[in-house]
Amino acid sequence: MEGSVPLEWYLILSAAIFAIGGVGVLLRRNAIILFMCIELMLNAVNLTFLAFSRYRTGALGALDLDGHVMSFFVIALAAAEAAVGLAIILSIFRHRRHINVDDGNLLKN
């Protein structure tokens, strides 16, 4: 695999995307933005899986599809999450005309 992009670059990229997503989850208030940040984190992980999968194939000389399988799982999960999450966000928006996560404290205490 001479001349190809080294594994570290993938990892650095995915770490950067994960961190951006993580910081977004922690700091942003808008539920949609949070959602998108979670997607970023999930996909950063997917990228790692695929990078490792590719890397291991190169090292062992045989095709290793474990990382791909995990990615599919994550994508399916993200799709399901998006379906449920967006439905919740939508119904919250209908009630309150905004989707600020800070204000969703009706059941607190």
Partner 1 sequence: MIPMFAMGASDHDDHGHDDHGHGDHGDGHGGHGDHGHGEHGGGSSWWMYLLGFLVLAPTLMCLFNGVVGSSGVSYNPATGEYSSPILMAIILAPAIGAVINGTIGQKLPRPIVNLVGCAAIGLAFLFSISAVGSLMGLEAPAAEGHMAHQPIVYNAFKWIWVGNFQIPAKFVLDPLSAVMILIITGIGTLIHIYSAGYMSHDPAYARFFTYLNLFCFAMLILVLGGNMLLTFVGWEGVGLCSYLLIGFWYTDDAKASAGKKAFVVNRVGDFAFIIGMFLIFTAAESLDYQAITQLATTPETAGPLMGIATAATIFIFIGCTGKSAQIPLFVWLPDAMAGPTPVSALIHAATMVTAGVYLIARMNALFILAPTTMWIVVVVGGVTALMAATIAVVQNDIKKVLAYSTVSQLGYMFMAVGSGALTAGVFHLMTHAFFKALLFLGAGAVIHGLHDEQDIRKMGGLRKSMPIIHWTFLVGCIAIAGVPGFAGFFSKDEILWNVFAQVHAGAPMPGLHVVMWIVGVLTAGLTAFYMFRLYFLTFHGESRVAAGVTPHDAPAAMAMPLIILAALSAVGGYLGVPHILGGLVHWIPGIGEAMSHHILHTWLEQVFTPSANALSIRFEHDQEVVMEWVTMGVSVVVALGAIAASWMLYARPSDVPKTVAERASLPYKILSNKYYVDELYALLFVKPTLLIGRFFHKVVDEVLIDLLLVNGAAWVMESMGAIGKRLQDGNVQRYAGYVVLGLGAIIFLLLIK
Residues found near partner 1 in the complex (CB under 8 A): 22, 25-27, 101-102, 105, 107-108
Least spacing, CB of residue 83 vs partner 1, in Å: 20
CA angle 79, 81, 87 (to 5 degrees): 105
Residue 16 or 27 having the CB closest to partner 1: 27
C-alpha 104/C-alpha 28 separation (Å) is 14
CA angle 7, 13, 17 (to 5 degrees): 145
Tokens of 14: 């995915």
Residue 26 or 83 having the CB closest to partner 1: 26
Least spacing, CB of residue 11 vs partner 1, in Å: 14
Question: Residue type at 58?
Answer: G
Residue 45 or 101 having the CB closest to partner 1: 101
